[in-house]
A and B are shown apart, each in its own frame.
Chain A
Amino acid sequence: MQQREKAVTHSGHTESAVAMLPQSQQKREKIMTHQIRKTGTVLVGAMALQFGLTFGAVAQDMTQVEVLLPIPEGFAFTPLIAARELGYFADKGIEVSTVVADGSGYLSQQIVAGNSDFALMGAADAVVAFNRRDDIRVLFCNQVKNVYRIVARADAGITSMAGLEGKALGYTEPGGGESQLVSAAISEAGLEVNKNITLLPIGPAGPQSLIALQNDTVQAYSSSFPDVAVLAASGIEWVDITPETYSNVPGACMVTTEEVLSSDEGMTAATALTTAWVEGQYYAIENSQEAFDLVCDTIESACENQAVAEAFYAEAMNLITPPEGQRPGELKLSSWQTVVDILAASETVSADLDVEPLISGENVQAVINAAYAGQ
C-alpha cells in the first residue's frame, strides 16, 4: 500500500512506472527525451535562420512590377532581358520581376481572376480571357508574327496542309498553345482528325519528339517556334506548311486590365513597362549580336548548346522584327481579327466577337503613345 501511494504521487508516479519497465524501454525513454530536445533545438534554429535569410525584406526604392511569363526567360524574351540588364526599366523607375507559369492558360486564369496585373500571354489566350472579362487590355506584343508553326519533314514529300491526308501530325500536348491553329488549319484543308489525319502528342522539342520524327511515327509537327528551331538545329529539315492566312497572328502580348490602367500607379507601371520593353525591342533588332551575347551572359543555361542557341535566337528575332511599315510590338486590328477567326473555327469564341476594345481605348492609347514617343 505504501509503495502504491508512493507510486501515485504527482511527481513520482511516472518515474516509478518507468522504473518498473524493462531496462531497454527505460533506456529508450531517457535517451530519446534528451536527444529530441537537443536535436530539435538545433533544427529549429537552423530553419529560423534560413527562413530569415531567404525571406528577409530589403527596402526597395523602385516600384515593383511583376510580370507573368508563359515560359522561362530566354531568347524569346530578348527585349525583356535587354530592358532589364541595360537599365531601361530602372530609368523609368520600375523593377521588373518575372514569374514563370506553365503556358498561357494559367496566365489567363490569373488575369481574369484579378490575381495579377501584367501577363505576357499568347494572343489566343488573350482573346479567350477578353471573352470572359471585357476589361482585359493588350498593350503591345513581344512577337508581331505567328509564334506557332506547322512544319513537315522535307523528306516526307508534304508541301501543304492538304498533303497531310493519311499522315500523322505531332503536337506538344492536348490543349497546347498550337492546338487552335492546328484545329483551324486542319479544318481549312478539308481534313478530319482520326478519319484522314492522325494527331499524336509527342511533346515539345526534346529526345522524345526527335525520335518520333526520325523513326517516322509522325511526318509533320506543330509547336511554337523554339521547338521547331531546336529540332531543325538537330538535323531535321523542315518545310513550313503553316497556312499563310495565319502568318500575321501576334505572338506573346502584354495583357492587363482597365482596372489596373485606371489607377495612377497602374498607369505609371504600364507606361514604364511598355516604354522600356519597346526600347528593348529596338535595341535587340538594331544590335543583334550584342543582344545575343547579353542573353547568354544573363542566362548561361540557354546557351549550353551553341548551335541550338543560335538557331533559336535567329527565329526569335525574326518574329520580334516587324514587317516593313510596322513598329516593334505594335498592335494591328487585322491580326487580332485573324485570332478571332482561328478561335471561332473551333467554337471557342463567337465569330462576331468585337475584339477592337481589347487593343484600344483611351488608357491603352496613352500607354502606346508614350512608348513610341522617343522612337
Chain B
Amino acid sequence: MTHSVWYRIGLPVLVGVVLIATWQIMSNLGMINAIMIPSPSAIVVGFSELVTRGYFWDSTWVTLQETLYGFAIGVSLGLIIGALTGTFQTFRTAFYPFVIAFQNTPRVALAPIFLTWFGFGITSKVVMASVICFFPVVINTVAGMSSVDDNAKMLFRTMGASKSQTFFRLTLPGASAVAFAGVKTALTLALLGAIVAEFVGGSVGLGVLIKELNFQLEVAKAFSVVLFLAVIGLVLYGLIELLERYLITWNRD
C-alpha cells in the first residue's frame, strides 16, 4: 500500500520538482530569456503580488461566471440534442450530419463573429463557452445511448414499456457514464471558450488580464495567470469528478 502511494503520488511530484529545479537553474545561469520564459521564482513572486490585488479576483470571478454559465447552457443543450438524436431516428438523420460538420469547424474562429452578434459584454463570452462545450456532450450522449444493451431494450419492448419509460428507466441510466465523460471534457472547454472570447474582445476577465500584463511586459505575472487558469481547470474538473461519483455510483473503479 505504501509503495503504491509512493509510486502514484511521489513519482510525479519528484519529476515535477526536478523539472522546476532545472528550469530555475537554467534561468539563474541566463540560459533562458526571461522575456520569453520567466523563472519559476519570478512567477511565484508575480503571483503573490497579483493575489493581493482586488482586480485579480474581480477578473477571476468574471471568467468563472462566463465558464459556468457557458458550461450550463452548453451541457443542457448538448444533453437534450444528444438525447433527441439518440432516441428519434428522424431527428438523427435530419440534424446529426450538421452536428458532425460543426464539430469539425474550428470554433475559436467564430469568436469575432460572436462579438459582432452578441456584443462585447459577458453574453458573447457565455455563447462562445457554450458553443465550444456543446459538441462533445452531444457526441458522447449519442454514443452512450447507442451503447445500451440491445437485449435490455428488447426486454423493455417485450414488457410493453413506452418509449419514455424505456428512455428514463433504461437508456438514460445506461448512457450516463459515457455522456458524463463528455460533460467532464465540456467544462475545460468552456473555460477555453471564455478565455478565447476575452482575448478577442473583452474588457474584464483573466484573458484580458493576461493581455494587459503582457502589454506591460509583466511576463512573469502573465505566466502566473496562465498557470492559475490551469489550476482552475483542474479544480473544476475535480468538482465534476465528484459530481460523477455522486450521480453515477455504479461506475466507480
Contacts and interface: CB of A to CB of B under 8 A. Distances in A.
A195 interface: no
Contacts of B202: 100
A17 B65 contact: no
A21 B153 CA distance: 10
A16 B217 contact: no
Contact of B174 (A7, A20, A25, A54): A25
A318 interface: no
B55 A14 contact: no
Interface stretch (B1-9, B87-95, B115-123, B182-190): B115-123
B221 interface: yes
Given A14-B165, A100-B201, A32 B214 contact: no
A301 B159 contact: no
A29 to B, nearest CB: 5
Interface string A8-25: 100001101110110011
Q: Is the interface of A mostly helix, strand, loop or mixed?
A: helix
Nearest to A205: B215
Contact of A16 (B54, B159, B247): B159
B152 A109 contact: no
Interface in B139-166: 152, 155-156, 158-162, 165
Given A211-B33, A305-B218, A100 B120 contact: yes
Given A39-B246, A206-B217, A102 B173 contact: no
A72 B216 contact: no
Interface string B179-218: 0000000000000000000001111000011001111111
A226 B211 CA distance: 14
Nearest to A72: B203
Contacts of B217: 205-207, 210, 230, 234, 305, 308
Given A28-B174, A54-B65, A100-B203, A8 B214 contact: no
B101 interface: no
Nearest to A116: B119
A277 B161 CA distance: 71
B116 to A, nearest CB: 7
B111 to A, nearest CB: 10
B55 A99 contact: no
A133 interface: no
A98 B203 CA distance: 9
Contacts, number: 133
B43 interface: no
B100 interface: no
B246 A99 contact: no
A277 to B, nearest CB: 19
Contacts of A20: 155, 159
Given A102-B115, A300-B53, A300-B55, A207 B214 contact: yes
Contacts of B221: 304
B169 A18 contact: yes
Contact of A24 (B116, B176, B212, B250): B250
Q: Is the interface of B mostly helix, strand, loop or mixed?
A: helix
Contacts of A54: 65
A57 interface: no
A29 B121 CA distance: 42
B250 A102 contact: no
Q: Which of B120, B174, B243 has the most CB of A within 10 A?
A: B120
Contacts of A109: 116
Given A33-B168, A39-B246, A211-B35, A204 B160 contact: no
A206 to B, nearest CB: 4
A8 to B, nearest CB: 4
Contact of B120 (A13, A101, A301): A101
Contact of B173 (A7, A28, A50, A68): A28
Contacts of B55: 299-301
B36 interface: yes
Interface string A32-64: 110110010001000100100010000000000
A29 B247 CA distance: 11
B104 interface: no
A72 B211 CA distance: 11
A204 B215 contact: yes
B170 interface: yes
A225 interface: no
Given A14-B169, A106-B116, A301-B55, A35 B247 contact: yes
A25 B173 contact: yes
Interface string A79-115: 0000000000000000000111110001001000000
Interface string A287-331: 000000000000111101100110000000000000000000000
A101 B54 contact: no
B81 interface: no
Given A39-B243, A47-B72, A207-B214, 8 more contacts: A17-B161, A28-B173, A32-B248, A36-B247, A39-B247, A43-B72, A68-B120, A304-B213
Interface of B: 33, 35-36, 53-55, 65, 72, 112, 115-116, 119-121, 152, 155-156, 158-162, 165, 168-170, 172-174, 176, 200-203, 208-209, 212-219, 221, 243, 246-250
30 contacts: A14-B161, A17-B159, A17-B165, A17-B169, A18-B169, A20-B155, A21-B152, A21-B155, A24-B250, A25-B174, A28-B248, A31-B250, A35-B246, A35-B247, A39-B246, A43-B72, A68-B120, A72-B208, A101-B120, A102-B115, A102-B120, A106-B201, A205-B217, A210-B35, A227-B215, A230-B217, A299-B55, A304-B218, A308-B216, A308-B217
Per CB-CB distance, the 4 closest pairs between chain A and chain B, nearest first, are A100-B203, A17-B159, A102-B201, A8-B160
